[in-house]
Amino acid sequence: MKIEKMASSFNADAVSTCSEASTLVDGSVISNVPDRHGFLGGTQYSSEPRQGPPPETVLRREKKWLKMLSLWNFYMDKNYAKVRERCRKGIPMSIRPRAWLYLCGGRILMEKFPNKYEDCLRDRGDQKCLDEIKRDLHRQFPTHEMFSSEEKPGQQELFNVLKAYTVQNPKMGYCQAQAPIAAFLLMHMPAEQAFWCLVSISDKYLENYYSPAMEVIQRDAMILQGLLKRVCRPAYKHLKKVGAEPMLYCTEWFLCVFTRTLPWDTLLRVWDVFLCEGVKILFKTALVIIIGCLGTAKSRKSAAGLCETLDLLRNPPEDILLEENLIYNINQLPLTEKDFASEHQAQTLKMKLEKNVNGASKR
């Protein structure tokens, strides 16, 4: 009898502890204790500790990065290969916010315009843009502790960063795809730094991606298709066969810089390389996902139609997206700078000719 009572008591305590640690919201378990990245639930939540490098390796890399950051201009001008090598290995978590700010040029902008962010916040801004931003705030990582409710500071900071961008660049205004990028940056750095990183990414890395006509993203979608034809013709042929145009699957990847696609640890590593090497990393990441999903006859057979193919690309098998696996495959892709330049030139010329033909037919 004592054993039964003890077991009953133990089970009750376990249930009580479980209920205190998590709650059920819309059928999903939401933890009251955030994971190492601040997530309380959702697809990005991870209850398992990350199996990263040993502490002594992390400490050694931190020291190397601190030295490099103290001599940043020298390394970027004279030893960029070392910067690239260290970004590909993964930036230490403690260094990442400062490194990203340096890599994207946000630090230069912040020092050049020291009062600009506050000036933008004081500006009334475009009311249409502000209304659109407000409608999107609750959609950005709602299971993250920073953005889980209106009372959390994250939503207000996100509004401020996005508003400031529309004031800084009124011609471009606001695009929904900027919201997850801004939120992602806010998870790693103060609002002013996140703002300048967003400015640099939107205006330099993804120049004209967010324009209403979306001509640049359309061109880059076709560049992706051309690169796929070079590195994995069977996957290219399958996509053509089922009628899966690249804009159907790569738009969110590129516009949101994979913030809505990749597991968190993998996403951080991709961004380490993206901010160092530029937009070509988006193409390489996309290619690795496509080849991982459709690179074998068996996988293509299982995705016989358009709907099945798109569903597979939007929900790739977990092993394809694993941090070390994806980064390794990105670095192993047989693509050169010449390949990228050639596809860019070909697709730019093609779009120009199509534009001229359409213009002539309208006349």
Reported as a single tens digit per residue, the pLDDT across 192-228 is 999 999 999 999 999 999 988 889 999 999 999 999 9
Q: How confident is the model at residue 237 (pLDDT cuts 50, 70, 90)?
A: very high
For domain 97-205, the CATH class is: mainly alpha
Judge contact between 333 and 288, C-beta under 8 A: yes
pLDDT beyond 50 at 131: yes
- In this prediction, residue 361 carries a pLDDT of 66
Q: What are phi and psi of 15, to 5 degrees?
A: -65, -40
Reported as a single tens digit per residue, the pLDDT across 58-70 is 999 999 999 999 9
Closest listed residue to residue 130, CA positions, set 154, 166, 155, 156:
166
- In this prediction, residue 348 carries a pLDDT of 93
pLDDT beyond 90 at 38: no
- In this prediction, residue 229 carries a pLDDT of 97
Reported as a single tens digit per residue, the pLDDT across 73-113 is 999 999 999 999 999 999 999 999 999 999 999 999 999 99
CATH for 215-362 (3.40.50.170, 3.40.50.300, 1.10.472.80, 1.10.260.40): 1.10.472.80
- C-alpha span between 6 and 151 (Å, rounded): 42
Domains 97-205 and 215-362 share a fold: no
Q: Which residues contact 212 (CB under 8 A, 6 or more apart)?
A: none
Question: How many Cα neighbours within 13 Å face the side chain of 63?
Answer: 5
Where are the chain's structural domains? 56-89, 97-205, 215-362
Q: Which two tokens stand for residue 315?
A: 């929900």
Reported as a single tens digit per residue, the pLDDT across 321-339 is 999 999 999 999 999 999 9
- C-alpha span between 310 and 307 (Å, rounded): 5
Name the E strands within 59-107.
none
* Element housing 31 (H / E): strand 28-31
- In this prediction, residue 30 carries a pLDDT of 52
* Long-range contacts formed by 147-156: CB under 8 A, 24+ apart: 147/183, 148/40, 154/183, 154/186
- In this prediction, residue 47 carries a pLDDT of 73
Name the E strands within 139-270.
none
Closest listed residue to residue 232, CA positions, set 300, 294, 302, 306:
294
- For the four alpha carbons of 259, 264, 269 and 272, in that order, the dihedral sign comes to positive
Q: Is 22 exposed, middle or buried (0-12, 13-18, 19+ CB in 10 A)?
A: middle
Mean pLDDT of the chain: 90
More confident residue, 213 or 21: 213
CA distances from 336 to 230, 283, 325, 339, 340 (A): 11, 12, 21, 5, 7
Query: To 10 degrees, what angle do helices 178-186 and 191-200 make?
Result: 140
In degrees, to the nearest 5, what angle opens at C-alpha 343 toward C-alphas 337 and 347? 150
Q: What is the dihedral of CA 48, 90, 208, 176, to 10 degrees?
A: 20
pLDDT beyond 60 at 118: yes
Rounded to an integer, the average pLDDT of 277-286 is 98
More confident residue, 211 or 303: 303
Residues of the chain with pLDDT > 90, as a percent, come to 79
CA distances from 266 to 143, 220, 292 (A): 18, 23, 15
Neighbours of 51 (CB within 10 A): 7
- In this prediction, residue 362 carries a pLDDT of 64
Closest listed residue to residue 187, CA positions, set 228, 157, 232:
157
51-55, 120-124, 232-236, 337-341: least confident range: 51-55
